[in-house]
């Protein structure tokens, strides 16, 4: 049984797509977001896993490295109608091309005038010295 559990863990880990800090910094700079505290969001939410999906109690899900909510920002392939304010399919938030993710993060942060839409940011990062995450 232990071998089966270990095999499942290894298979899951091999499917996860991570992004390195240097690559994330390059993409933030390309999108005009250098110096943006969004570099910290993946570390506040979870690990920098591109293909991460987390399900919420309200039936919505959070997608990708920035855990963007399907309730407001992206459209799931379900019959459930979302606001889809970023005009993006949630599945597009799971791939290695994070430029569309970054455009959505910019929209979210601009509308909220900060990173408050991310509960993990408020709970775990907002009051910390975040210099370690700077590009």
| CATH code, domain with 63 | 1.10.530.10
51: CB partners within 8 A, 6+ apart = 15, 16, 17, 64, 94, 95
Q: How confident is the model at residue 125 (pLDDT cuts 50, 70, 90)?
A: confident
* Residue-wise pLDDT tens digits, 82-99: 789 999 999 999 998 889
**Residue at 87 is within a domain:** yes
Annotated active-site residue 85? The verdict is: no
Domain span at residue 62 reads 21-133
Kindly name the residue from 31, 58, 62, 129 that is annotated as catalytic. Answer: 62
pLDDT at residue 101 greater than cutoff 80: yes
**Residue at 95 is within a domain:** yes
Kindly name the residue from 45, 76, 100, 101 that is annotated as catalytic. Answer: 45
Predicted structure pTM score: 0.73
**Residue at 1 is within a domain:** no
Annotated active-site residue 62? The verdict is: yes
Number of domains within the chain: 1
């Amino acid at each position: 049984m232990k071998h089966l559990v270990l095999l499942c863990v290894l298979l899951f880990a091999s499917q996860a797509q991570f992004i390195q800090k240097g690559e994330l910094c390059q993409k933030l700079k390309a999108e005009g977001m250098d110096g943006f505290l969004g570099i910290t969001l993946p570390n506040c939410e979870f690990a920098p896993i591109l293909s991460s999906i987390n399900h919420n109690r309200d039936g919505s899900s959070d997608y990708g490295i920035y855990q963007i909510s399907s309730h407001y920002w992206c459209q799931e392939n379900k019959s459930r109608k979302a606001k889809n304010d970023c005009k993006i399919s949630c599945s597009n938030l799971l791939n290695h091309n994070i430029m569309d993710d970054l455009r959505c993060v910019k929209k979210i942060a601009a509308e909220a005038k900060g990173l408050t839409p991310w509960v993990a940011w408020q709970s775990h990062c907002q009051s910390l010295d975040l210099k370690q995450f700077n590009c």
